[in-house]
Amino acid sequence: PSDIFVHADRDQFFRAFANLFSNAIQAKARRFSIGAYLNDDGGLTITVTDDGVGIPEATQANLFRPFAGRARVGGTGLGLAIVREVFRGHGGSIEVKSTGPMGTSFEVVLPSSAVTSAPKLRASRRWGAWRAIDGAKSGNRAVERNRDR
């Protein structure tokens, strides 16, 4: 299908992705990317990748635990815990796929119940929709925000 919509709370998803990008900037990333593809079960996998310095090994085990996952001095350790709860609240999950001196890659998986290919859907004021579009060179689909209201 050419139009994929994710049923999600627009504000919560914005906060979650903004947090991931903010963390990338704090990790001295100069570039980050977001891609998406449909899973065989009809769910959606979203990848967020940056070219920052990576996540310290000592932090990785508790990365998504509140107050325990601080990667930098002065951090609260709440950012990624909140991100995880946003995706869990939508029936999904997030995990670190890779991290190291060349960057970090997160993978968000959303269930088929949160995804539809009905192109006639319109985002409401409270609930937003994300639409996957063709065009990424890697074979994944790029994701753009659907701003129809």
Between CA 1 and CA 107 the distance in angstroms is 22
CB 132 within 8 A of CB 36: yes
More confident position, 40 or 148: 40
What are the two backbone dihedrals, phi and then psi, of residue 114, each rounded to the nearest 5 degrees? Answer: -100, 0
Confidence of residue 62 (pLDDT cuts 50, 70, 90): confident
pLDDT per residue as tens digits for the range 106-148: 999 999 999 887 554 444 444 455 454 443 333 444 444 444 4
Q: Which pLDDT belongs to residue 82?
A: 93
* Res. 89: pLDDT tops 50: yes
pLDDT per residue as tens digits for the range 7-33: 899 999 999 999 999 989 988 999 989
The answer, as to whether pTM is greater than 0.75, is no
